[in-house]
Amino acid sequence: MTDTGIENLLQEERLFPPSDEFAAQANAGPELYTEASEDFVAYWRRQALERITWFKEPTEDLDDSNAPFFKWFADGELNISYNCLDRHLDAGGGKVAYHWIGEPGDRRTVTYQQLSDEVNRFANGLRSLGVEKGDRVAIYMGMVPELAVAMLACARIGAPHSVIFGGFSAQSIIDRVQDAEAKLLITADGAWRRGTVVPLKESCDEAMLSTPSIDHCIVYERTKQGVSMTQGRDIWWHDLVADQSTECEPEVMGAEDLLYILYTSGTTAKPKGIMHTTGGYITSAASTHSLVFDVKPESDVYWCAADIGWVTGHTYIVYGPLANHTTSVMYEGTPDYPEKDRLWSIIEEYGVTILYTAPTAIRAFMKWGAEYPERRDLSSLRLLGSVGEPINPEAWMWYHENIGSSNCPIVDTWWQTETGSIMISPLPGVTTTKPGSATKAMPGVSAEIVDQEGNRVSPGGGGFLTITKPWPAMLRSIYGDDERYVSTYWSQYPGRYFAGDGAKIDDDGYLWILGRVDDVMNVSGHRISTMEVESALVSHPAVAESAVVGATDSLTGQAIVAFVTLRGGFEESDGLNDELRKHVAVQIGPIAKPKSIIFTPDLPKTRSGKIMRRLLRDISENRDLGDITTLANADIVANIASQSEAQRKDA
Ligand code: PRX
Confirm if 280 and 72 have CB atoms less than 8 A apart.
yes
pLDDT computed for residue 506 by the predictor: 96
Confidence at residue 441, expressed as pLDDT on a 0 to 100 scale: 98
| Nearest of 197, 224, 207, 235 to residue 140 by alpha carbon | 207
Instruction: Kindly give the distance from the C-alpha atom of residue 416 to the centroid of ligand 1, in angstroms, as a whole number.
Output: 5
Contact (CB, 8 A) for 591 and 599: no
Residue 6 has a pLDDT of 83
Tell me how far apart the alpha carbons of residues 396 and 436 are, in angstroms, rounded to a whole number. Answer: 6
- pLDDT confidence of residue 4: 57
Give the mutation target among 312, 416, 534 for probing the ligand 1 site: most ligand atoms within 8 A of CB. 416
Per-residue confidence (pLDDT) for residue 388, from 0 to 100: 94
- Burial of residue 279 (CB within 10 Å: 0-12, 13-18, 19+) is buried
Residue 614 CB: number of other CB atoms within 10 A?
A: 16
**Can you give the C-alpha Rg of the chain in angstroms?**
24
Going by DSSP bridges, is the β-strand pair 137-140/184-188 parallel, antiparallel, or unpaired? parallel
**Residues 516, 498: Cα–Cα separation, whole Å:** 11
Q: Which residues lie with the beta carbon below 6 Å from any ligand 1 atom? A: 264, 311-312, 387-390, 412-417, 438, 499-501, 513, 515-516, 608
Instruction: Report whether pLDDT(629) > 80.
Output: no
pLDDT band at 644 (very low <50, low <70, confident <90, very high): confident
565 forms beta bridges with 545
The confidence score (pLDDT) of residue 554 equals: 85
User: Distance, CA 446 to ligand 1 centroid (Å)?
Assistant: 17
Of 505, 574, 580, 513, the closest CA to residue 542 belongs to 580
Ligand 1 centroid, distance to 236 Cα (angstroms): 37
For residue 261, give the H/E element and its range: strand 258-264
What are the tens digits of pLDDT across the range 125-155?
999 999 999 999 999 999 999 999 999 999 9
The pLDDT-based confidence of 267 (bands split at 50, 70, 90) is low
C-alpha span between 253 and 52 (Å, rounded): 13
Alpha carbons 313 and 332: distance in angstroms, whole number: 13
Taking the centre of ligand 1 as the mean of its atom positions, its distance from the CA of residue 513, in whole angstroms, is 9
Cα(414) to centroid(ligand 1), Å: 6
Residue 462 pairs in a beta bridge with 504
Q: What share of the chain has pLDDT > 70, as a percent?
A: 99
Q: In whole angstroms, how far apart are CA 220 and each of 110, 158, 177, 372, 430?
A: 17, 21, 19, 34, 44
Mean pLDDT of 241-255: 98
Question: How far is the centre of ligand 1, averaged over its atoms, from the C-alpha of 356 (Å)?
Answer: 14
Lowest mean pLDDT among 74-88, 482-496, 599-613: 599-613
- Integer Cα distance of 328 and 319 in angstroms: 12
User: 141 near 188, Cβ under 8 Å?
Assistant: yes
Separation of CA 482 and ligand 1 centre (Å): 23
Contact partners, residue 554, CB within 8 Å, separation at least 6: none
Question: Collapsing DSSP states into helix, strand and coil, what is residue 523?
Answer: strand
Task: Produce one character per residue of 117-132: b if its CB has 16 or more CB atoms within 10 Å, e if not.
Answer: bbbbbbbbbbbeeebe
Q: Cα(535)–Cα(207) distance, rounded to whole angstroms?
A: 41
Nearest CA to ligand 1 atom 15: 416
Report pLDDT digits (tens) over 268-303: 568 999 999 999 999 999 999 999 999 999 999 999
Ligand 1 closest atom vs CA 499: 16
Instruction: Please choose from 315, 362, 363, 389 the residue to mutate so as to test ligand 1's pocket, defined by most ligand atoms within 8 A of CB.
Output: 389
H runs (alpha helix) in 369-450: 371-374, 393-398
Strand locations in 10-159, DSSP E?
Answer: 62-63, 71-72, 77-78, 96-101, 107-111, 137-140
- Give residues with Cβ within 8 angstroms of 74, minimum separation 6: 58, 60, 63, 254, 255, 256, 279
For residue 522, the tally of other CB atoms under 10 A from its CB is: 14
Secondary structure of residue 209 in the 3-state scheme = coil
**In this structure, are residues 496 and 466 in contact, taking their beta carbons and an 8 Å threshold?**
yes
Domain 524-650 class in CATH: alpha beta
Please enumerate in sequence order all residues whose Cβ is within 8 A of that of 590, keeping only pairs 6 or more positions apart, or say none: none
Whether this model's pTM surpasses 0.75: yes
Share of the chain above pLDDT 90, in %: 86
Report CA dihedral (312, 316, 319, 325) to the nearest 10 degrees: -170
pLDDT category at 2 given cuts 50, 70, 90 is: very low
Q: Answer for the pair 625, 569: CB distance below 8 angstroms, yes or no.
A: no
> 339: closest CA among 103, 543, 109?
103
